[in-house]
Amino acid sequence: MFNSHTARTVVLLLAILLTWAPAGCQSPARQAQPVSQPPAPAPAAGTEPADQPAATDDGNVIAWAADGVITPGEYQKNKPFGDYELWWTADDQYIYMGMKAKTPGWVAVGFDPESMMKNSDIVEGFVKDGQLSIADMYSTGQFGPHPADTQLGGTDDILASGGKSHSGYTTIEFKRKLDTGDKFDKPLHKGSNKIIWACGSDPQFTIKHFARGSGEIDL
């Protein structure tokens, strides 16, 4: 038989157990922690095409302007050749091109050379005192000369152009037809097209190049 003191002790112990037992079955509350995401894998080397897309960060394309400024999204593709770089867009009729080189002098591009410079269709330009000089030329020999098409009986087929020289760089932009119909211009076509390029140290056509090269661009 429990006496009254024992009974009170038992009741007190039961009350304590009933008070703490539910809490002992629950996990303690805590703040949710952010889940760490694994870093995105880096793109594999060599997966980008040789002719790089040249759009804005959001993928938009802007209208071409012959202002001597190559704006992100203005051209579809570009290709670097060291300190010389080509940018271009082509549609069904025209090519829009930008040339930029680390020089205060002239820059040039030639289309479809046959042997060295021979029979290449050349566009060359420079900016002096803020004024653009640009010429549609044709190389008659392996190492030149490359007079203007108009001197050979052809036509000047540069439809629009612009240029700037700033901070040691010269930028020339121009537009022409893919196929001008002039025998001193090489037709450009969809797919790969051979090119040569060069740049000179001074803003005048008669100064020899200090850098040159060759390659291909894809229209």
Is pLDDT of 36 > 80?
no
In a domain, 29, yes or no: no
What's the whole-number average pLDDT of the chain? 81
Q: CATH number of the domain that 158 lies in?
A: 2.60.40.1210
Is pLDDT of 29 > 90?
no
Is pLDDT of 108 > 60?
yes
Degrees, nearest 5: CA angle 203-209-213: 130
For residue 206, what pLDDT is reported?
A: 85
Gap between the Cα atoms of 196 and 40, Å rounded: 39
- Confidence class of residue 8 from pLDDT cuts 50, 70 and 90? low
In this structure, what token pair is assigned to residue 32?
A: 């949710």
In a domain, 23, yes or no: no
- Confidence class of residue 2 from pLDDT cuts 50, 70 and 90? very low
CB under 8 Å to 68, separation ≥6 — which residues?
127, 132, 162, 163, 164, 171, 172, 173
122-157 per-position pLDDT tens digit: 999 999 999 999 999 999 988 888 999 999 999 999
Asked if 136 contacts 146 with a C-beta cutoff of 8 angstroms, the reply is: no
Weakest-pLDDT range from 37-41, 65-69, 163-167, 186-190? 37-41
In a domain, 8, yes or no: no
For residue 51, what pLDDT is reported?
A: 56
Full domain range(s) for residue 194:
52-218
How many of the other CB atoms lie within 10 Å of CB of 217? 23
Is pLDDT of 27 > 50?
no
In a domain, 94, yes or no: yes
Is pLDDT of 18 > 70?
no
3-31 average pLDDT score? 41
- Mean pLDDT is highest, among 52-61, 179-188, 203-212, for 179-188
Q: Quote the percentage of the chain above a pLDDT of 90.
A: 67
Gap between the Cα atoms of 7 and 130, Å rounded: 108
62-84 per-position pLDDT tens digit: 899 999 999 999 999 999 999 99
Is pLDDT of 160 > 60?
yes
In the block, tokens 């010389």 appear at: 84
Distance of CA 138 to the CA centre of its chain: 28
In a domain, 2, yes or no: no
In a domain, 108, yes or no: yes
In a domain, 35, yes or no: no
For residue 211, what pLDDT is reported?
A: 94
In a domain, 168, yes or no: yes
Is pLDDT of 182 > 90?
yes
Question: What's the domain count of the chain?
Answer: 1
Is pLDDT of 12 > 90?
no
